[in-house]
């Protein structure tokens, strides 16, 4: 049985037609006012009209959205949400860190954490879209090892004075100073459903950020994934509890039926699509979520 209160996050309307219909700052305020614990954005720097890379979260490997749909920059969107709110966590699910310069990313996240009052959560993953990496002139094949190193570099930079300088894919200069430092230890959550993601979550992350579609939620697979994350963490000598967040896409009635089983296996947070159409839509969404786990 669940022994914790499940927390709920609202995925903000940061891409698609909704970016024009529902201002991001106002949506973040509405989510916080409704009582959500966190607000989340997503990340792609560019999309391609046609791609050969298989999308890992659909049965046929085809993306489930219009590649020409508008998508806001993730870090700008997080900053907008932070400025519009006072209490909720500000998260990204997930940022493809290896496509970015690690020093710049460390600076952006530290600054955002300070100006938000210590509310930043960094979800990150290795990425799947080869064509996006190529457009940014970033090596695709080494994205996994780069992500591992980037996580280490971020934490080094957040100390203010990095001491580990040599990495396979990057070198920090002697005497480097990285300020400001975050107000709190920014949680790094590892996104993805692969064994590589679970290993990374256990060995380097502060938690696992899983992805599920509402019509195909697999509680058994999520339980097994959580067990794998813990096993990898124990093998690495890490004893810090891992947070498990599940982002579920799809209609609310299909989402709520899975919440109690997810709470029972120890899922700490669920991120959903809120109803932005009705004036009281976010509040009604959260009420339905809370009722499902009572």
Residues 149, 143: Cα–Cα separation, whole Å: 10
Residues 231, 260: Cα–Cα separation, whole Å: 24
Percentage of the chain lying above the pLDDT 70 cut: 99
Domains of the chain, by residue range, sit at 7-292
| Contact by Cβ (8 Å): 43, 96 | yes
Which tens digits make up the pLDDT trace of 98-107?
999 999 999 9
pLDDT for 2 = 52
Mean pLDDT of 125-146: 98
* Distance set, CA 88 to CA 35, 48, 81, 212, 291 (Å): 9, 33, 9, 23, 20
Mean pLDDT of 178-187: 98
Beta pairing, strands 120-124 & 269-273? unpaired
pLDDT for 18 = 83
Q: Is 20 helix (H, G, I), strand (E, B) or coil?
A: helix
Beta pairing, strands 188-191 & 207-213? parallel
Residues 207, 187: Cα–Cα separation, whole Å: 8
pLDDT for 254 = 96
112: nearest Cα among 180, 32, 33, 162: 180
pLDDT for 103 = 98
Percentage of the chain lying above the pLDDT 90 cut: 96
Residues 200, 23: Cα–Cα separation, whole Å: 35
Dihedral of CA 170/120/187/212: which sign?
Answer: negative
- Which residues lie across from 121 on neighbouring strands? 91
Q: Which residues contact 213 (CB under 8 A, 6 or more apart)?
A: 57, 248, 249, 250
Q: Given a cut of 80, is residue 1 above it in pLDDT?
A: no
Which tens digits make up the pLDDT trace of 15-26?
998 899 999 999
Q: Tokens 């991001």 appear where?
A: 24
Residues 240, 237: Cα–Cα separation, whole Å: 9
pLDDT for 17 = 84
pLDDT for 242 = 95
| Contact by Cβ (8 Å): 206, 192 | no
Q: What is the pTM of this model?
A: 0.96
What is 7-292's CATH number?
3.20.20.30
| Contact by Cβ (8 Å): 197, 125 | yes
Q: Which two tokens stand for residue 105?
A: 């990313």
Mean pLDDT of 177-192: 98
Q: Given a cut of 60, is residue 35 above it in pLDDT?
A: yes
Residues 18, 188: Cα–Cα separation, whole Å: 28
pLDDT for 3 = 54
Mean pLDDT of 52-74: 95
Across all residues in the chain, what is the average pLDDT? 96
Residues 162, 149: Cα–Cα separation, whole Å: 13
Residues 31, 53: Cα–Cα separation, whole Å: 34
Helix axes 74-84, 102-115, angle to 10 degrees: 10
What is the 8-class DSSP label of residue 22?
A: S
Q: Given a cut of 80, is residue 127 above it in pLDDT?
A: yes
Beta pairing, strands 243-249 & 89-95? unpaired
Which tens digits make up the pLDDT trace of 210-245?
999 999 999 999 999 999 999 999 999 998 889 999
* Distance set, CA 287 to CA 74, 213, 284 (Å): 28, 21, 5
């Amino acid at each position: 049985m669940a022994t914790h209160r499940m927390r709920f996050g609202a995925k903000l309307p940061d891409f698609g037609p909704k970016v024009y219909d529902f201002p991001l700052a106002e949506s973040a305020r509405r989510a916080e006012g409704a009582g959500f614990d966190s607000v989340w954005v997503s990340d792609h720097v560019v999309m391609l009209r046609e791609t050969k890379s298989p999308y890992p979260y659909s049965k046929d490997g085809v993306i489930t959205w219009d590649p020409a749909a508008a998508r806001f920059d993730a870090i700008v969107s997080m900053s907008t949400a932070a400025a519009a709110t006072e209490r909720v966590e500000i998260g990204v699910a997930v940022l493809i860190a290896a496509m970015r310069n690690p020093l710049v990313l460390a600076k952006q996240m530290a600054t955002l954490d300070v100006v938000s009052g210590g509310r930043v959560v960094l979800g990150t993953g290795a990425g799947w879209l080869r064509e996006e990496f190529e457009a940014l002139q970033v090596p695709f094949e080494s994205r996994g090892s780069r992500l591992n190193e980037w996580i280490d570099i971020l934490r080094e930079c957040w100390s203010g004075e990095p001491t580990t300088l040599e990495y396979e894919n990057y070198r920090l200069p002697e005497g480097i100073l990285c300020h400001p430092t975050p107000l709190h230890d920014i949680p790094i959550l590892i996104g993805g459903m692969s064994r590589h993601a679970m290993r990374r979550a256990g060995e380097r992350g502060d938690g696992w950020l899983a992805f599920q579609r509402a019509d195909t939620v697999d509680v058994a697979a999520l339980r097994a994934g959580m067990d794998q994350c813990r096993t990898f963490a124990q093998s690495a000598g890490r004893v810090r509890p891992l947070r498990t967040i599940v982002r579920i896409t799809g209609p609310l009635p299909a989402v709520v039926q899975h919440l109690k089983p997810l709470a029972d296996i120890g899922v700490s947070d669920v991120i959903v699509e809120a109803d932005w159409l009705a004036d009281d839509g976010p509040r009604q969404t959260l009420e339905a979520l809370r009722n499902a786990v009572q």
